[in-house]
Amino acid sequence: MALPRHHPVNGSLPPWPPLPPRVRRLLAPANPHLDEPVVDEPAEPPRPWDLCSLDGELAAVVFSWLDEVAVWHNATYAGQDHQVIPACWPQHPSVAHDLAALAFSRVDVYQAATAAYVPRWHHDLESFHHRLAATLGPNPPCLRGDHDALPRRYAVEAAEREMVTGSAGLERSCTWSGGGY
């Protein structure tokens, strides 16, 4: 299966940082699986809402479906410009992660035996709209199909710097390669 037109380049969604061993030990009593020697391996089976853990065909399937969800959302809930999910949503990591969480939580809510959680999902949708507007800023060029015109102030500084962890002395690059920034 081919990746959607706007799918980020392989590895462009920064991986979730592993828990430091000391924090892992603190959390172990409440989460016994954290005491295992595995270092933040992706869950088995993979959780499709955890976009950083997806690769290959599963990533293609999930991103294609999320593209359809974005189109559906825009037709159903985007009554104002600040609520529109732009076609370049995969190039905005926070939007991509938020969209995945919102989409998969809707699946859970609408497949439930009761409608009790539907109002909560709509509240989450409203919060998503606020974060979307905050991420893209006022009058985002993305909505005009001009993603590359984003001003530098929209770049996430943390994704462009070298991160150094103090105690472990581990150095790793966190460069965002999603294009357009």
In a domain, 175, yes or no: no
pTM of the model as a whole:
0.68
In a domain, 9, yes or no: no
In a domain, 31, yes or no: yes
Residue 49 CB coordination number (10 Å): 19
In a domain, 29, yes or no: yes
The one-character DSSP state at 8 is: P
Residue span of the structural domain in which 107 resides: 21-150
Q: What is the pLDDT of residue 74?
A: 95
Question: What would the pLDDT profile of 108-148 be if each residue is shown by its tens digit?
Answer: 999 888 899 999 999 999 999 999 999 998 888 888 888 77
CA distances in angstroms from 134 to 13, 116, 172, listed in the order given: 19, 29, 28
Q: What is the mean pLDDT of residues 141-162?
A: 60
Question: Do residues 54 and 45 make contact, with C-beta atoms less than 8 angstroms apart?
Answer: no
Residue 94 CB coordination number (10 Å): 14
Helix (H, G, I), strand (E, B) or coil at 16: coil
For residue 150, is pLDDT > 70? no
In a domain, 130, yes or no: yes
In a domain, 68, yes or no: yes
For residue 172, is pLDDT > 60? no
Question: Structural domain tally of the chain?
Answer: 1
Question: What would the pLDDT profile of 3-44 be if each residue is shown by its tens digit?
Answer: 444 445 444 666 766 777 877 777 776 666 655 544 456 667
In a domain, 160, yes or no: no
Question: Do residues 78 and 85 make contact, with C-beta atoms less than 8 angstroms apart?
Answer: yes
In a domain, 180, yes or no: no
